[in-house]
């Protein structure tokens, strides 16, 4: 029986992967620190994610920067799925040391142990993020394919939220972002995810361990934290709607993301662990469809049957991107990955799950005030 270590395995993505691996007959060890921001003050009562796996896996309650715990988790492990990370683009812009220490430092420690200690590990799978691209790929009629850098504060303050050609300042057409697109993250979180992937591929190759990385788009679905105001737009909006509170739609509501359902992400990740030909590759994982934020809010209101004010405010956060959606051709070719859950069906499944949960306290306004005080929310 193959043994799998999942760092961050009690989290949203990790717990779903763990349950699917157990169904397939794998023996799973999870290392997770059960961070209160994700799991609540008493995970045995407040974390459905942790409760879903705690009696089915070997669980190590520890931080990914804990060397002794990591060494324990790696004992007899055949594969590592490295998901442990601080998540939240906005929060990363003012909790810089925390994000760097955990995301980069934890990855470095994992690789240091694998380099200097005998192990059974055959392959390391690491979660990158679409955040490493910054703005996605665009096409300019005059200049061809281009990759805009982060948008300027002064432009957005005037209501100009779209990206311009970095060469001629002309209008751009959004196209799907491929894995060989330019990398220029616009947040500390994005930089950390870029470094995680680079470290894993570099070091694993040097020590004879296979490596695979995934650039997840916006993952959503049952189990996503309804109390963490820093990540997961569907969860954030859902908590607002269930509390009958107005939703502040940033910018002009036309900013887009690629929303992909959690089961599809888990299936792709497991394929990346199992498929021999995946070794050495970086894969985008998404639906390959751009959906704007206002459409997301409207879909949620429809499925909940609750109308709340949707205020298109013109507010914006420094570090946010305008658009990005994935080209998933490579994952389709090598992993045979094809998303099975449409956005409408995924929203239905997600809202059905939310309706079965206790009403959560909405912490979103406090998080925005925190960002405003740091000069990052305008």
Q: Is 99 a catalytic residue?
A: no
Phi/psi for 285 (5° steps) reads -130, 115
Closest CA to 159 of 249, 248, 247, 252: 252
Other Cβ atoms within 10 Å of 9 Cβ, number:
30
Has this prediction a pTM greater than 0.75?
yes
Question: Are 132 and 215 contacting, i.e. CB atoms less than 8 angstroms apart?
Answer: yes
Strands (E) in 27-161, as ranges, are: 27-32, 58-61, 79-82, 123-127, 138-140, 144-146
Contact between 189 and 129 under an 8 Å Cβ cutoff? The reply is: yes
CA distances 319 to 39, 112, 120, Å, are 26, 31, 40
Predicted pLDDT of residue 295: 98
Distance of alpha carbon 88 from alpha carbon 228, whole angstroms: 9
Banded model confidence at residue 362, pLDDT cuts 50, 70, 90: confident
Which residues face 220 on adjacent strands?
A: 261
- Give the dihedral sign, CA 353/356/357/361: positive
For residue 159, what pLDDT is reported? 96
Q: How confident is the model at residue 109 (pLDDT cuts 50, 70, 90)?
A: very high
Residue 376 binned pLDDT confidence (cut-offs 50, 70, 90): confident
Task: Kindly provide the residue ranges of all beta strands, DSSP E only, lying in 107-208, ordered along the sequence.
Answer: 123-127, 138-140, 144-146, 173-174
The pLDDT, as a whole number, for residue 150 is 87
**106 CA to centre of own chain:** 17
What mean pLDDT comes out for the span 39-56?
93
Residue 172 phi, psi (nearest 5): -125, 155
Half-sphere exposure of 247 (CA within 13 A, CB side): 28
Confidence class of residue 228 from pLDDT cuts 50, 70 and 90? confident
256: pLDDT strictly greater than 80: yes
Q: So what's the pLDDT on residue 2?
A: 94
The pLDDT score that the predictor gives to residue 361 is 83
Which position among 133, 138, 189, 220 bears the catalytic label?
A: 189
- The span from the CA of 242 to the CA of 225, in Å, is 14
| Phi/psi of residue 99, nearest 5 degrees | -70, -40
Give the residue, 325 or 368, on which the prediction is more confident. 325
β pairing state of 79-82 and 247-249: unpaired
Contact 29, 6 (CB under 8 A): yes
The CA angle 103-105-108, to the nearest 5 degrees, is 105
Q: Which two tokens stand for residue 107?
A: 């990855």
> If you average pLDDT over every residue of the chain, what do you get?
95
pLDDT at 370: 87
Q: What per-residue string of b and e applies to 169-190 under the rule 16 or more CB within 10 Å gives b?
A: eeebebbbbbbebebbbbbbbb
The DSSP bridge pattern shows strands 173-174 and 138-140 to be antiparallel
> Domains along the chain?
3-373 (3.40.50.720)
Render pLDDT for 114-167 as a digit per residue (tens, 0 to 9): 999 999 999 999 999 999 999 999 999 999 999 998 899 999 999 999 999 999
Q: What is the maximum alpha-carbon separation in the chain? A: 60
- Which residue has 């990052």 as its token pair? 376
pLDDT, position 359? 85
Check residue 1 and give its pLDDT: 75
Residue with tokens 């190759």: 205
The pLDDT of residue 127: 98
Calpha distance 5→45 (Å, rounded): 25
pLDDT tens, residue by residue, 160-200: 999 999 999 999 999 999 999 999 998 999 999 999 999 99
Contact call for residues 245 and 362 (beta carbons, < 8 A): yes
Q: Where residue 360 falls among pLDDT bands split at 50, 70, 90?
A: confident
Angle between helices 12-23 and 262-274 (to 10 degrees): 60
The confidence score (pLDDT) of residue 234 equals 96
Of residues 361 and 243, the one with the higher pLDDT is 243
């Amino acid at each position: 029986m193959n043994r799998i270590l999942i760092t961050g395995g009690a989290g949203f993505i990790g717990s779903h992967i763990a349950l699917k691996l157990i169904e397939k007959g794998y023996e799973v060890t999870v290392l997770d620190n059960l961070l209160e921001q994700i799991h609540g003050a008493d995970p045995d009562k407040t974390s459905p994610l942790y409760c879903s796996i705690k009696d089915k896996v070997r669980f190590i309650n520890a931080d990914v920067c804990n060397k002794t715990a990591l060494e324990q988790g790696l004992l007899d492990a055949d594969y590592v799925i490295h998901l442990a990370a601080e998540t939240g683009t906005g929060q990363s812009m003012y909790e810089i040391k925390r994000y760097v220490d955990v995301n980069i430092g934890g990855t470095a420690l994992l690789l240091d142990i694998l380099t200097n200690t005998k192990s059974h590990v055959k392959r390391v799978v690491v979660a990158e993020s679409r955040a490493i691209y910054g703005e996605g790929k665009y096409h300019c009629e005059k200049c061809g394919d281009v990759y805009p850098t982060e948008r300027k504060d002064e432009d957005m303050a005037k209501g100009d939220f779209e990206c311009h050609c970095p060469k001629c300042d002309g209008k751009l057409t959004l196209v799907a972002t491929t894995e060989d697109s330019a990398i220029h993250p616009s947040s500390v979180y994005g930089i950390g995810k870029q470094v995680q992937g680079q470290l894993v591929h570099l070091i694993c190759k040097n020590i004879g361990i296979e490596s695979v990385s995934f650039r997840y788009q916006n993952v959503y679905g049952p189990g996503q934290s309804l109390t963490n105001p820093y990540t997961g737009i569907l969860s954030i909006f859902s908590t607002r709607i269930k509390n009958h509170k107005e939703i502040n739609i940033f910018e002009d509501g036309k900013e887009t993301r690629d929303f992909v359902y959690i089961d599809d992400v888990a299936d792709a990740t497991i394929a990346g662990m199992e498929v021999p030909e995946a070794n050495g590759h970086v894969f985008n994982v998404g639906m390959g469809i751009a959906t704007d934020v206002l459409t997301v809010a409207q879909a949620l209101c429809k499925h909940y049957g609750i109308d709340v004010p949707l205020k298109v405010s013109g507010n914006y956060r420094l570090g946010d991107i305008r658009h990005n959606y994935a080209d998933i051709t490579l994952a389709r070719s090598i992993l045979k990955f094809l998303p099975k859950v449409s956005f409408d069906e995924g929203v239905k499944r997600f809202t059905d799950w939310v309706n079965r949960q206790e009403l959560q306290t909405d912490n979103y306004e406090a998080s925005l005030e925190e960002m405003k005080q740091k000069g990052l929310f305008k």
